Amino acid sequence: MKIETQVDAVVHFIHKMDIEMLNDILDDKLTYQDMEKHRFLDMLEIAFDAIKRAGNEFLIPHKGMCNRSDCNYKFKGYSFRGDNTGAHIDLIIEQTDGIVEDIYECDEFRCKPKTASSTGLRVQLDVEDCPF
């Protein structure tokens, strides 16, 4: 994958499950999933740890969109799926001209075309269980 934009870099570093690089490239002034960047990244790191514990080394990005008509219908994002188990996290990445404006989970994500299996543990960013 050739990295030409901030969005490309975000996808690449989620693929690698590299929180440190995501911290470096995401804007400190923005919120992600309606929380400060550091808190969002803490939650994402917990999700990455769960995906790794499930037996995965990296995540494979599959393009898609929100499929919920009363939400962010047709907003674009990725289903990031584990290389071994299919454990995954579905994220919408809002952007303008390659610059990330927001990242958040999607509860009803659909890959287009249907490239990713719908099986596997869906890992969520659980704000309620976060100890910090």
pLDDT tens per residue, range 49-66? 999 999 999 999 999 998
* Residue 89: per-residue pLDDT: 94
* Residue 124: per-residue pLDDT: 81
* Residue 115: per-residue pLDDT: 56
* Residue 132: per-residue pLDDT: 42
What band does 34 get if pLDDT is binned at 50, 70 and 90?
A: very high
**In CATH terms, is domain 6-111 a member of 1.10.10?**
no
* Residue 126: per-residue pLDDT: 66
pLDDT tens string 96-121: 999 999 999 998 888 876 655 556 77
* Residue 122: per-residue pLDDT: 78
Residue 60: phi, psi to the nearest 5? -100, 120
Q: What is the mean pLDDT of residues 23-41?
A: 96
What band does 71 get if pLDDT is binned at 50, 70 and 90?
A: confident
Percent of residues, the chain, with pLDDT higher than 70: 89
